[in-house]
Chain A
Amino acid sequence: MTWIVWRQQRPVLITLAVGLVVGAATILLLRMLMINDINARNLLDCVAKGIDACQGSAVREFQNSWFDVMHVALAGMLVLPLLVGLFVGAPLFAREYEQGTHTLAFTQSVSRTRWMVTKFVVAGLPALVAVGVAQVVVRSWLLAAGKLGPFAAGPFYLTNFEGSGVSPIAYTVFAYTLGMFAGALFRRTLVAMTLTLVIFVAARFVLNGVRRLMLTPTRVVYDDPIDYRIERGPLYVDGGYLTPSGAEVDPASVSGKLNCAGRSYNTGDLVACYREHGLVKAYVDQIPVNQVMTLHLVEASIFAGAAVLFVLGSVWAVRRQV
């Protein structure tokens, strides 16, 4: 059975392999060029200590030429799972139904379940490996930029989270099983691809929105209700003011209490005004950087749970008799 599926998937697997080799070679080349650029501009110190430690135009010039390219690579990591869902998952069963070859498969001695499992594994595993390799290669490039690269802004910044940890693999498994299920259910490749695109984008959008609610945040309290700075790095969940007793001030009533016209911060008068109005301290609820792995796992388990449902749905759809 493995040979059959390998033979069927050969064009897809060759495309995948060529894409991976060309993509990885390009990224490794870019990495090399960038390291040369770092050395030529004498920026090694900045790479280790960060942009604040550097003076002069060299850093700006370096970022002008590399910052966007590095973000494009990260954005590519967002698209890769979707491509697997569209071009490997969706046609997996839909194409058999379209060609009529499912009756050929169903009229051999192997059970439908074994046929499904073999197809699922032989087609899916190489795609997962490709995504994993791409992630490692992109990561090695971005790490070489050190504190001048996108990772310096913390693991939650922009697409840093989605391109790291178990997330790319979890999104890939989700997209692949989603495409497979849609194809097994509707038996049309184009319908399956469209549904995969729409549902994947919607699911990622919704889960991006609620990600900050997945863990219990850590509260940081600032004694000065005005002069505090939200750290870069942790994931901001919520923020506001505290009353003398330490209770949260109702956010709806805050704007009325900020009316302190004519009182100066420098004399401490403004802070006194805030406190007179009951805004004693400020707080920020955030998910600290050291919990990024937990957050990755929690989000991935949601996608994995959906993937399990899609696999069960596919088994049902293929084994049902019409």
Chain B
Amino acid sequence: MGLREHPPVVAESLGKKYSRGWALRDCTLQIPQGRIVALVGPNGAGKSTLMGMITGLLRPTAGRIEVFGDVPNGRGMHAKVAFLTQAKPLYPQFTVTETLHYGRNANPTWDQRYAEDLIRKAQVPTQAKVGTLSGGQRTRVALALALGKRPRLLMLDEPLADLDPLARETVLQTLVEESREHGITVLLSSHVLAELENVCDHLVLLTNGRVRLAGDVHELLREHPQSSLSQLALAHMREEVAA
């Protein structure tokens, strides 16, 4: 840790091609330490693809990527990274307690008390089967599972997509609190920037598989005429559509 720690993510000319075409092209960026990073772009911009390559679930077609100085591979995810996919997969037949037990068994760095605290704060019944929980409760359990391993980088793919406005707010609040308190780098993807507006301090804007904008939120706002992040992002997306 400290000064010698590698940045969470460094990508150089990273590209991923599926049979239907390039999902991500020529992506060069760095995710800085300790920030809440919004990864924004319209549907199909390459957000999930980028995250997939950070986890090692996907293999890059071009360029290279490093996660805390290591190249992700198919053997397993980097121990410092936690990842919550869009579908928030959990074993539906497990109870909440059993799900935490799962986390403890599968992660040497597991912090049981911390995970239990997160569940308690979320007021999720611990003996309920995960399959019977509401979308918001499931997200909170998945989040406790992701945070319980004490990651240095927490990635969330569209974490708010299936939540009602109230649940969105509480989940975001939890994220901000935990990342500030424990110095976790958070990478959040969304196609709606407005909901991340007050939360993120770093922005990566993807459209059509390319990086359009990347940098510190305050600097971006100083350099551009737009007064808010949403307007800035929208302006770039409009340019893209017009072109």
Q: Are A8 and B91 in contact, with the CB atoms below 8 A?
A: yes
Q: Does B102 contact A (CB under 8 A)?
A: yes
The number of chain B residues touching the other chain, given as a range, is 20 to 34
Instruction: Tell me whether A321 and B58 are in contact (CB under 8 A).
Output: yes
Q: Is the CB of A322 within 8 A of B58?
A: yes
Contact, CB under 8 Å: A3 / B77: no
B96 → chain A, closest Cβ, in Å? Answer: 13
Is B79 an interface residue, CB under 8 A from the partner?
yes
Known A3-B105, A4-B105; judge A106-B91 contact (CB<8 A): no
Contact A1 B107 (CB under 8 A): no
Partner of A112, one of B76, B90, B94: B76
One of B57, B85, B90 near A321 (C-beta < 8 A): B57
- Chain A residues whose C-beta falls within 8 Å of the C-beta of B149 in the assembled complex: 108-109
From A109, A111, A319, A322, B109 is in contact (CB under 8 Å) with: A109
Say yes or no: is A229 at the interface (Cβ < 8 Å to chain B). Answer: no
Question: Is B13 an interface position by the 8 A CB rule?
Answer: no
Q: Is the CB of A101 within 8 A of B107?
A: no
| Residue tally, chain A, CB below 8 Å to B | 25
C-alpha gap A224/B119 in the complex (Å): 88
Tell me the interface secondary structure of chain A in the complex.
Answer: helix
| Residue A49, interface by CB 8 Å | no
Using CB atoms, name the residue of chain A closest to B84. Answer: A107
Q: Is the CB of B106 within 8 A of A1?
A: yes
Q: Is the CB of B74 within 8 A of A4?
A: no
Query: What's the Cα separation between A101 and B55 when bound, in Å?
Result: 15
Is B56 an interface residue when CB atoms closer than 8 A count as contact? yes
Give Cα A320 to B57, complex, Å: 9
How far, in angstroms, from A108 to B106 measured CA to CA in the complex? 6
- B238 close to chain A: CB less than 8 A: no
By the criterion CB–CB under 8 Å, are B59 and A109 in contact? no
Assuming A113-B75, A322-B59, is B101 touching A103 (CB within 8 A)?
no
Cβ-neighbour of A319 out of B75, B105, B107 (below 8 A): B75
- Chain A 1-39 interface 0/1 with B at a Cβ cutoff of 8 Å (1 = within): 101100110010000000000000000000000000000
Residue A104 at the B interface, CB < 8 A? yes
Q: Render B81-116 as a binary contact track against A, CB cut-off 8 A, 1 for contact.
A: 111010101111110001001110111110000000
What are 17 inter-chain pairs, A to B, with CB distance below 8 A? A4-B102, A4-B105, A8-B93, A100-B85, A100-B89, A103-B89, A104-B89, A107-B55, A107-B57, A108-B107, A109-B76, A109-B106, A110-B76, A110-B107, A112-B75, A113-B75, A322-B58
